[in-house]
Amino acid sequence: MVEVDSDLAARGAPAAVGELALPAPVAAVRGAIELRGLTKRYGDETVVDAIALSIAPGEFFSLLGPSGSGKTTTLMMVAGFVRPDGGAILLDGEDIAAVPPQKRGFGMVFQNYAIFPHLSVFENVAFPLRARRWANGAVAERVSWALELVRLGRFGDRHAHQLSGGQQQRVALARAIVFHPAVVLMDEPLGALDKNLRFEMQVEIKEIQQRLGMTVLYVTHDQEEAMSMSDRIAILNRGRIDQVGPPGEVYERPANPFVGRFLGEANLIEGTIAPQFDDGTRLVLPSGHELRAPSGSRCSGGAQGMLFIRPERIEITPGANAVGGPRDNALAGRIRRCAFLGNILRYAVDVDGTAPVTVDLQSAVGVAPLPAGAPVVLRWPVADSLILPAEP
């Protein structure tokens, strides 16, 4: 019962964060992190392979990747819990290889909150201050500030087991920021929360980060979470960084098929790359049909390639006349099936000479989905297409 009530109470005060007076948002000057050739090996296996990154002060930076991609190991090396086998970690230009974890001065939020079960909420949040030998008065002042910030002002006397998962997460967050660290490291902090609560916490974390102007290095395997919160994202795959960029860029212009698929539903239509033309690159499907993409692709003519297009960029019209133009690609096909996903209708369309193409349409009241077997034409802008090298 406690959980439901308090969560509702928390949700009922959306303006709380904005009303807080201190500290005022400032342009962050501290908290720049640079990784140079950071490497970690366990036995024969290289789990982090020469990662290089540069994170600006005040930036919200996510390490995104599937499990086993090396993102948590990278974070643990930054935190100081795992010793790198090669490379350097620089904080504001200084190598912190020799600095033990407790002296690095990072705020940290852990996957399962890591709330101290024997301490009250107040003492949990006070922990980093007491470890730094703050005076009692200053501790009380700062802890209540942090608890107000995460909207747990009335919960100081409670114990961890009396809190819901979301509240525990807020305690962990308050504990990480209470001493105003320039950098906060977060390891899948929302992984244990249900979907709605997770979204809510994403907003809160982002707001607090901006308000306090702190650098956040955030590890997650959830691409939506990474995109909704981050200034930039690094996509990790098997210990290497496949791509770094702002959410829009990595979503729309993935560096390779892996990144394309990992960030959301993606169509990757295989074919042979035709010689470069002035007006762009062309991909010839096994059926002989040609698809176009803007020039600038790193692929050379004659090689195998893939045309990348997001399902929501494709228009679908009944009919069989698939003629593209300089601005549009078009493909003829037949509806294979349609799935209702709430806000969207997801079609799988059989197209000659390639795997079924996925198309997402906004669902609308009173509109019947197209029946299976219906002939349709798929059409999308050339500008939204991208030709990627085929996977090895």
Footprint of another protein (CB under 8 A)? 79-81, 100-103, 105-108, 110-112, 114, 116-118, 127-128, 130-132, 159-162, 175-176, 179, 185
Write the CB contacts of 50 (distance below 8 Å, at least 6 apart in sequence): 37, 38, 39, 86, 87, 240
Shortest Å distance, C-beta 105 to another protein = 7
- Given the complex with another protein, which of 26 and 131 has the nearer CB atom? 131
> Is 40 strand, coil or helix?
strand
Torsion angle (degrees, nearest 10) of CA 113, 116, 121, 126: -100
Write the CB contacts of 366 (distance below 8 Å, at least 6 apart in sequence): none
Residue 357's nearest CA partner among 326, 384, 334 is 334
Shortest Å distance, C-beta 180 to another protein = 12
- Given the complex with another protein, which of 110 and 199 has the nearer CB atom? 110
- Given the complex with another protein, which of 12 and 117 has the nearer CB atom? 117
Could you tell me the end-to-end alpha-carbon distance of the chain, in angstroms, rounded to an integer?
54
Shortest Å distance, C-beta 97 to another protein = 17
Shortest Å distance, C-beta 183 to another protein = 12
Shortest Å distance, C-beta 228 to another protein = 25
Shortest Å distance, C-beta 133 to another protein = 9
| Strand 86-91, strand 94-95: pairing | antiparallel
Which element (helix H / strand E) includes 168?
helix 165-177
- Given the complex with another protein, which of 111 and 210 has the nearer CB atom? 111
- Given the complex with another protein, which of 152 and 241 has the nearer CB atom? 152
Write the CB contacts of 172 (distance below 8 Å, at least 6 apart in sequence): 109, 110, 113, 114, 115, 189
- Given the complex with another protein, which of 172 and 299 has the nearer CB atom? 172
> Is 68 strand, coil or helix?
coil
Q: Report d(CA 369, CA 367) in Å as an integer.
A: 6
Q: Report d(CA 223, CA 220) in Å as an integer.
A: 8
Q: Report d(CA 106, CA 128) in Å as an integer.
A: 10
- Given the complex with another protein, which of 40 and 175 has the nearer CB atom? 175
Shortest Å distance, C-beta 175 to another protein = 7
Shortest Å distance, C-beta 64 to another protein = 22
- Given the complex with another protein, which of 164 and 276 has the nearer CB atom? 164
Calculate the alpha carbon distances from 169 to 63, 160, 214, 224 in Å: 20, 10, 18, 19
